[in-house]
Amino acid sequence: MAKQMTGGLIRKKPFSITRQHGFTTIALICFFVLYAPILTLVFYSFNAGNNLMLWEGFSFHWYVKAYENELVQEAAIRSLIIAVSASLISTLVATMAALGTTRTAKFKGQSMIFLMINQPLMVPEIVTAVALLIFFAIIKTFTGYYGLGYLIAAHSAFCVPFAYLPIKARLDGMDLSLETAAGDLYATPFRVFRRVTLPLLFPGIMAGAMLAFVISLDDVIITEFVKTAGQDTLPTYMLGQLRRVITPEINAISTVLLGISLLVVTLFFLVSRKRF
Amino acid sequence: MVDDTIRIEGVGKYFGAEPNLVKALDNVSVNIRRNEFFTLLGPSGCGKTTLLRLIAGFESPSFGTILLDNKDITTLPPYQRSVNTVFQSYALFPHLTVAQNISFGLEMLNKPKHEINQTVDEMLALVHMEELKDRRTNQISGGQQQRVALARALAPKPDVLLLDEPLSALDYKLRRGMQIELKRLQLETGITFIFVTHDQEEALTMSDRIAVMNEGHILQVGSPDEIYNDPQERFVADFIGESNFVEVDIVGKASGASSSGSIRFANSKKSYPVKIPANKKNDKKALVFIRPEHARLDGKTRGATLTGTLANKLFFGTDTNYHIDLDDGSQFVVRAQNTLEGGFSPAVGDKLGIFVDENALKVLKD
């Protein structure tokens, strides 16, 4: 090794981090730290007993229990309503924002706009949560409305950057001359959008919507601050349960949530990888 | 009267504002005839692509008028002009098949379905792409993409087809094939082609007429023969083919409206009768341009137009280029055809005479 480096006659192999000593060990430790807790959680969701640490045999008992629990049912439905609404709204807004920031002539303050769109990624979530709590409290006293609208509005807002980024990436990678060519071939601006821009952008829009859906589905902090009594989503319901007796029912719900997230994220990767 | 398809009248395109004002195109006027293969030739940044984009409507001119069939189209958006473009990058729609790409323009014109199908079939046959019509555009080669781009732009049967350096991405052989193909398509469809290129050879072989452009101006418009043999300015002579430039004295003044006069080379007593451009009438000196193949070398220096020593010989197969250091220190190139008989073959260092006939001498405007 030393001879090779000083002699210089034999060409040194290019540096590769994977060949350094201890690389495999470090990688294994990282994977262990990341996945061991999750695997334990999934494992104990199938525990027959009601203990989180003592294995008493395999069973779907806690899944059935969770499914039959009306509170869980309500929270799950609420979570889905919020996640679907928020991902639709935020994707629509994000698509318009992405078109506005890529398909117009460069204007003053464009990078400022970019920062503002991505604000939820930078502002601490707890700050947004407190701000929304106070802001919505004011609106509630004026309107008397206490419905799900507040949660949907809050989720829509913080999901925008997650929907925006894949859509913008797609638009950035799209050859502008395609739209010019469509215009050259007698397509009016609306038909250019309908026949060329939108079909080419669609995978980006789908990816953005899925990302927004997952982000909305597992949000705790903002939901906890914004929700009124009886508006628990699945994550806040679970948080509430943890203050009482913990049973593997929590594990079962978590496992289902994990499954949904994994499914959506996998779809996200498949969709955003698709060229056309 | 000549039938013009496109008339460009005093058109300019400026970008930016005063301290950084860029005059991409400055007061250009040119008429393009019906059914002609017209080429805009010039180095990159000369304004040729800008002019093309103005005709297509992708950009609007800072001033001036563009007429298509005597109709002012200066402010019309691209989708209302009967002008189609073949883009340098082809810009084929990746989400559509070859056939769907070709039918796009026809669909946008709301043509009836049977007519669209018929035209698409015609176009596929015209560019020999029948077998690949259901392929996606990323599943065909560069040359095939080029042909689809052509068919797509020709399908709506526009009055004018604009081609923005469409052959620059192809390799030499394919390029040669496409040059012939393009010329054939132009003759078969009878559509006016406006072709942009920086390749002088391509321009000379394909065009009916060429406009040589530089720094936002059109310097000269003419047939390939006129552009090659009778350039008016040094830039045109220099840009196309190889040229020699020699400074001469104007000795015989032209009288009245006649453009004839005579010139004399330094250190030579012989004067040559030539045409003197109007703006040179009152000058003492002028620049003369001589093509390398229009000069002849000889071992004797008596009576020669110019004399010098052979500095270098470059063999080209059909021809040999002789690089000569003239007595005043400047360089001169003579191109001679190679024959099997051998003939006159000077060695480097030989003192030689260069003989030029008077009809090979062109006095330039600048």
pLDDT at residue B116, rounded to an integer: 95
Give yes or no for A196 touching B (CB within 8 A): yes
pLDDT beyond 90 at A134 = yes
**pLDDT at B208 (0 to 100):** 94
Whether A174 contacts chain B with CB within 8 A: no
Distant-in-sequence, close-in-space partners of B294: CB < 8 Å, separation ≥ 6: B356, B357, B360
Q: Please, what's the largest Cα pairwise distance for chain B?
A: 78
* Distance from C-alpha of A267 to C-alpha of A210, rounded to nearest angstrom: 8
Q: Model-level pTM?
A: 0.80
Best B73, B81, B83, B85 member to test A by mutation, with max A CBs in 10 Å, is: B85
Give the tokens for residue A54. 């003592």
Does the beta carbon of B85 lie under 8 angstroms from any beta carbon of chain A?
Answer: yes
- Does B104 contact A183 at a Cβ distance shorter than 8 Å? no
Q: What is the pLDDT of residue B264?
A: 85
Asked if the Cβ–Cβ distance from A180 to B152 is below 8 Å, we say no
The percent of residues in chain A predicted with pLDDT above 90, rounded, is 52
Residue B84 in contact with partner chain A when CB distance is under 8 A: yes
Contacts of A193 in chain B (CB under 8 A): none
Average model confidence (pLDDT) across chain A: 87
A190 to chain B, any CB pair closer than 8 A? The answer is no
Taking each continuous run of H as one helix and of E as one strand, the counts in chain A are 14, 0
Q: Residue A81 has what pLDDT?
A: 95
What is the pLDDT at residue B255? 58
- Please say whether the beta carbons of B52 and B61 come within 8 A: no
Per-residue pLDDT, B2:
63
Identify the structural domains of chain B with CATH numbers, from first to last: 4-237 (3.40.50.300), 242-363 (2.40.50.140)
What is the band of A1 on the pLDDT scale with cuts at 50, 70, 90? very low
Which of B78, B94, B152 is closest, CB to CB, to A183? B78
Contact yes or no for A184 and B136 at CB 8 A: no
Q: Do B83 and A188 touch (CB under 8 A)?
A: no
What mean pLDDT is predicted for residues A183-189?
Answer: 94
Q: Is B138 on the interface with A (CB under 8 A)?
A: yes
Of B56, B79, B87, Cβ closest to residue A186? B79
Q: Which of A56, A55, A52, A72 is nearest to A64 (CA)?
A: A72
- Residue corresponding to tokens 């398509």: B185
Check if the beta carbon of residue B211 is closer than 8 Å to that of residue B30.
Answer: yes
Q: Do A182 and B87 touch (CB under 8 A)?
A: no
ipTM: 0.81
Domain boundaries, chain A: 71-273
Nearest chain A residue to B57, by CA = A184
Provide the pLDDT confidence category of residue A5 given band limits of 50, 70 and 90: very low
Contacts for A123 with CB less than 8 Å, ≥ 6 apart = none
**Chain A residues inside the 8 Å CB shell of B60:** none
Q: Does domain A71-273 have CATH number 1.10.3720.10?
A: yes
* Residue B322 buriedness (CB in 10 A; 0-12 / 13-18 / 19+): buried
Q: Which residues of chain A neighbour B154 with C-beta distances below 8 Å?
A: none
- Which residues of chain B register pLDDT less than 70? 1-2, 253-258, 342
Question: How many contacts does A have with B, using Cβ atoms within 8 A?
Answer: 63
CB nearest B91 (choices: A177, A199, A275): A177
Query: Best of B49, B53, B97, B108 to disrupt the A interface by mutation (most A CBs within 10 Å)?
Result: B108
User: Each residue of A206-230: pLDDT tens digit?
Assistant: 999 999 999 999 899 999 999 988 8
Per-residue model confidence (pLDDT) at position A101: 86
The yes-or-no verdict on residue A276 having pLDDT over 60 is no
User: What pLDDT sits at residue B128?
Assistant: 87
